[in-house]
Amino acid sequence: MADVVLLLVLAGAGLLLVWCARATASGRVGRNQVAGIRTTTTLASDEAWRTAHRAARPLSEAAGWVLVAAAPVLFLVGDDAGYVVVTVAAGLTLALTVGGLVVGTRAVRREADRSR
């Protein structure tokens, strides 16, 4: 039962990340204090928000797909290996998410430098 709950949580969180990456990049989800890359740089304007999320989308989406892919793997491995799968998936997701943050913020700064 715990494996099923973990599978649903991983897959659900992954799909939520994918949706959020797409929705923020397309502009369906604008600046807010709940979802997306929320830094001083990205929250400065609507254009900064969209620029950051368009640039970060590939990494942000990949982070979500890592969790989705990890979910069924839990059923293919034993309990001990399941902990490894979850740990590796969480680590990759964190790395990809931070990578998206860096790429997105840099994109906004590059745009600002071009505007000057």
pLDDT range class, residue 80, cuts 50, 70, 90: confident
Share of the chain above pLDDT 90, in %: 75
- pLDDT at residue 32, as a whole number: 92
pLDDT in tens, 1-44: 777 888 899 999 999 999 999 999 999 999 998 999 999 999 99
pLDDT range class, residue 92, cuts 50, 70, 90: very high
pTM of this structure: 0.89
Output the six-digit token pair for 56: 């970060």
CA pair distance 84, 88, nearest whole angstrom: 6
Angle of CA points 3, 64, 75, to nearest 5°: 25
Look at residues 77, 94, 95 and name the one whose alpha carbon lies nearest to residue 3.
77
Domain range holding 21? 2-115
Do the Cβ atoms of 93 and 67 come closer than 8 Å? yes
- pLDDT at residue 11, as a whole number: 94
Do the Cβ atoms of 91 and 67 come closer than 8 Å? no
Output the six-digit token pair for 52: 């950051």
Output the six-digit token pair for 108: 């906004």
| Tally of domains within the chain | 1
Q: What is the DSSP string of 89-116?
A: HHHHHHHHHHHHHHHHHHHHHHHHHHH-
- pLDDT at residue 2, as a whole number: 74
Which three-class secondary structure state does DSSP give residue 37? coil
